[in-house]
Structure 1
Amino acid sequence: MDIGDEDVIIGLDWLREHNPEVDWERGSLCLSRCPEACPAHWKASKPVETKARDTEGKEGKDATYTYSQQLAEQEYQKKEIRPVEEIVPKQYHKYLRMFSKEASERLPDHGPYDHAIELVPDARMFHSKVYPLSPSEQVELDKFINENLAKGYIQELKSPMSSLFFFVKKKDGSLRPVQDYQQLNDITIKNRYPLLLVSDLMGRLKKAKYFTKLDIHWGYNNVRIKTGDEWKAAFVTNQGLFEPNVMFFGLANSPSTFSALMNDIFKDLIILGKVTIYLDDILIFTNDIEEHRTLVREVLKRLAERDLFCKPEKCEFEQPKVEYLGVLVSENRVGMDPVKVKGIAAWPVPQNASDVRKFRGFANFYRRFIKDFSAVCKPLDRLTGNAP
C-alpha cells in the first residue's frame, strides 16, 4: 500500500482502543489513556510529532524517568512511614535539623558552583508551544507552579527561548513534571566532568562491615543557576513562561556541576576511601563502628555548613547491608538487587528494536554477575543489527 510521504496511517480501531490525546494544531499524539495491557503504561508517555507538523524539530529523547527508577520508587513506597527521630539514631540527633523537610525548602545561596549554561557560537533561539494538559495534569501543574514560586525556585519572565513542559505518568499513577531541555542541550557547550564508575567502587565496598547511606533532599535544586543564564532554561506552560533559579533535572551538565560541588565538599574523605558519592547519594562504609560514627558526624557537619539537607525516609544508618547504585552491598559480598532482578524477569515483551535496546541496556548493568553475558545476549543483539 502506497502511503506517500507519511510514516504511518493510524486506523480507527487503534484510535478507539488507545484513545490518545490529540493536539491538531501541533500535530501531536499523547498516549496517556491506553488500556492496561498497552506498553505505553510502562514507558514514559510524551508527544509524538508527525512529519507534516513537526515545526520545532525533535521534542526530546525518551522522558528521563527510567524503568529502573520506577522500580525503586515502587519499593520505596512500600516502606513504613516513621518519624525522623526513629529513623535517625540518637547519636546523630545533634544534626536532626538536616533531616527537616520544612527547613530544606529554601532558596539556596549563590556560590562558586553555580550552574552556567554556555551556548555554542551562533546558537539559534527556539520556542516551544504550550503542551495541552488533561484535567489531572492541570491540577499538578498548578501545584508545581505555586510550590516552586513560593520557594523561589522559579519566577515569571519574558524570554526569547522556551522549552516544552509536560507530565509523564509513573507506575503508581502519579505524575512527574518534565522540562524537555533537549533543544537547549543541543546548543549547550558540554562539560565532561568525570562521574563515578560503579565498577571501580565495588571492590572497596565489599570489604566494609558497616554502611550508612544518605540521600540529599531536592538533589539538583540545591544548586543555583548562574546569574544571567536563567532565561536560557525557561519553560512554557499554559500559566505563562517561567525561568528556573535553580538547576532542574534534564539540563546538560547538571550531573557534572553537582558532582563537582559534592567532590569539593568531601574530597579528603573520598580520598580516604571510606566515603563515596554518586550525585546526591552518599555512602559511608567502614570496618569499625566508632570510626563509622565519627565519619557520619563529619559528613553531616559538612552538609550543615553547606545548607544541604537529607531525605530521612531514604537514609539508612549503620547497616550490615544496603542497596547502593543498583547493587546490594554487605561484608565480603556484592550482589544483585532482587527488586531489579524482578523487574528484568517481569519486563514487558519488546515490540520493536528500540524496546529490545532498552531491555538490553537495563540488563547490561548486571553483566558482571552473569557468566558469558555477551553470548547470552547475542540473539537480542541480532534483533537490533548489532551482532553478526
Structure 2
Amino acid sequence: MKADIGWTIADIKGIGASVCTHNIYMEENCKPTRDPQRRLNLPMMEVVKKEVIKLLDHGIIYPISDSKWVSPVQVVPKKGGLTIVKNDKGEDVPQRVQSGWRVCIDYWKLNTATQKDHFPLPFIDQMLERLAGHFHFCFLDGYSGYNQIAIAPKDQEKTTFTCPFGTFAYRRMPFGFCNSPATFQRCMMALFHDMMENFMDDFSVHGNSFEECLAHLALV
C-alpha cells in the first residue's frame, strides 16, 4: 500500500468533480470587494513566492487578470509541538514551538458574503463510542485534504488572491473558506461512512478482524 500513500503535494490525485465539488453561493445583494495586496517584508515575500510556485507547478492555482473578488495574502506562524520553558517565577510552563510560516488568504470579506453551509461535524465522544465496538484500527491523516476537492469553475474567480507576484485563483479548495470544513466532511462521510470514522482530515479505519480492517484500508 506504500504506493497509494501521498507523500508530497505532487501525489495528490484529487477527488473527481462528479463525486464532490465545492460551490460558493453568495448572499443576496452582496457587493464584491477588491482588496489591495498587503505589505510583506523580504523574508515573507520569499515564503509567498515559494508557495505560489509550488501551487502553480501542481495546477492548484492559475494566473487570473481580472476578478470582482480579490483577497490579500498573509503569512502567519506555523505552530509545531510543545516545549517546556521557565516563566518569570521560575515555574515550568508549556509553550508552543513555531515550526515555520504558513501562507494563507484572508477571505474574511468573501466569507461574510457567502451563504453558510451548516452541515454538522460529528461529536468526538460518539465517534469514540462507535470505535469501541471494533478490535482493529488504522489511523490516517489526510495530506492537504482540502486541495483534493475541485472548486466549481463558475466560482473559481471568487477565490482570487493578490500578492507581490500577481493575482491568482484556485482550482481546488483552499484553507480559509467558511464552508470548506462542511464540504470536506460531507464528502468524506459519503465516501467512507461504512468503513471508518472521520473528523475532518483525521481518519480512523476499523474492522472487527485484522483482515476486515486491511480490506477497508485498501478501499480507502
Bin for the TM-score computed over the shorter chain = 0.7 to 0.9
Residues 175-203 of structure 1, C-alpha deviations (whole Å, 9 max, x = no match) = 10111111111100111112111121222
1:107, 1:153 within 8 Å by CA — same for their partners in 2?
no
Aligned residue runs from structure 1 range 99-248, under 5 A: 99-101=5-7, 104-106=11-13, 109-157=16-64, 158-170=66-78, 171-248=97-174
Structure 2 match to 1:40 = none
More strand by share: 2
Distance 2:214 2:153 in 1: 39
Residues 21-47 of structure 1, C-alpha deviations (whole Å, 9 max, x = no match) = xxxxxxxxxxxxxxxxxxxxxxxxxxx
Total equivalences in the alignment: 200
C-alpha change, 1:195 and 1:288, in structure 2 (3 Å) is same
Aligned residue runs from structure 1 range 15-54, under 5 A: none
Distance 1:182 1:189 in 2: 13
Partner amino acid, structure 2, of 1:166: Q
C-alpha change, 1:246 and 1:203, in structure 2 (3 Å) is same
State, as a whole percentage, how many aligned pairs show the same letter: 26
Structure 1 match to 2:200 = 279
1:230, 1:243 within 8 Å by CA — same for their partners in 2?
yes
C-alpha change, 1:266 and 1:161, in structure 2 (3 Å) is same
The CA RMSD over aligned residues, in Å, is 1.9
The structural deviation recorded for 1:106 is 4.9
Q: Structure 2: which 5+ runs fail to align?
A: 79-96
Partner amino acid, structure 1, of 2:68: P
C-alpha change, 1:110 and 1:290, in structure 2 (3 Å) is closer
Residues 176-232 of structure 1, C-alpha deviations (whole Å, 9 max, x = no match) = 011111111110011111211112122233444432111222110000100110111
Partner amino acid, structure 2, of 1:163: S
1:168, 1:177 within 8 Å by CA — same for their partners in 2?
yes
Structure number with larger C-alpha Rg: 1
C-alpha change, 1:154 and 1:108, in structure 2 (3 Å) is farther
Structure 1 match to 2:90 = none
Aligned residue runs from structure 1 range 2-17, under 5 A: none
C-alpha change, 1:173 and 1:202, in structure 2 (3 Å) is closer
Query: Does residue 178 of structure 2 align to residue 257 of structure 1?
Result: no
Distance 2:44 2:19 in 1: 37
The structural deviation recorded for 1:135 is 1.5
2:63, 2:168 within 8 Å by CA — same for their partners in 1?
yes
Distance 1:211 1:235 in 2: 41
TM-score, normalization: structure 1? 0.49
The structural deviation recorded for 1:109 is 4.5
Distance 1:290 1:97 in 2: 20
The structural deviation recorded for 1:161 is 1.4
C-alpha change, 1:188 and 1:266, in structure 2 (3 Å) is same
Structure 2 match to 1:293 = 214
The structural deviation recorded for 1:150 is 0.8
More helix by share: 1
SS in 1 for 2:151: coil
SS in 2 for 1:220: helix
SS in 2 for 1:214: strand
Structure 2 match to 1:85 = none
Q: Structure 1: which 5+ runs fail to align?
A: 1-94, 270-274, 300-388
Distance 1:290 1:108 in 2: 26
Greater relative CO, 1 or 2 (CA 8 Å, sep 6+): 2
Deviates more, 1:107-116 or 1:246-255: 107-116
2:62, 2:171 within 8 Å by CA — same for their partners in 1?
yes
